[in-house]
Amino acid sequence: MTDELRDFERFMKQREEVARAFVNGDPEPLSRIIARTSNATFFGPGGGYRDGADEVSATYRLDASLFQSGGDSHFEVLQMDASDSVAYWVGIQRATARMQGKEEAVPMSLRVTEVFRREGSAWKLVHRHADMLVSEQPKLTEHKAGRDAVLHN
């Protein structure tokens, strides 16, 4: 394992804390890890996109205001790597959020890809793509077994 990857794995613990703050309505920790010296993009769950560090930051601030305290979030990392001052992770963000104007907590499962670049000694978020996980897909062996059962019945 490279030093860059070890460092990024440590950073990802901080990134999860940032996500927890966000689903509790606090955008400040996220604003501290957004790229400022390079461009940033955001492909959000509602479709469309935001381009430019200032526009992305403003969008995150607005989105955080939709949440209230009492939420939780964690990442299920499927892939992660870091090298040459660029890093990424791909996986599922599972959250239970308390939304403004709703009595009950709202469960969310998002498919997430995030890309980071070093600015000085810190990892900064340059791209986030997050959309709703619609359904869990069967594993290939389960899918094949199900297909074989249909074909032979």
Per-residue pLDDT tens for 107-129?
999 999 999 999 988 999 999 99
pLDDT at residue 66 in the model: 95
Question: What percentage of the chain exceeds 90 in pLDDT?
Answer: 77
Mean pLDDT over 11-29 rounds to 97
Q: Are 36 and 122 in contact (CB under 8 A)?
A: no
Residue 123: φ, ψ to 5°: -80, 130
| Tally of residues, the chain | 153
Domain 3-151 maps to which CATH number in 3.40.30.10, 1.10.287.3510, 3.90.1170.50, 3.10.450.50? Answer: 3.10.450.50
Question: For residues 54 and 153, which has the higher predicted lDDT (pLDDT)?
Answer: 54
pLDDT above 80: residue 99 = yes
Q: Enumerate residues 6+ apart whose C-beta is below 8 A from 81.
A: 5, 8, 87, 88
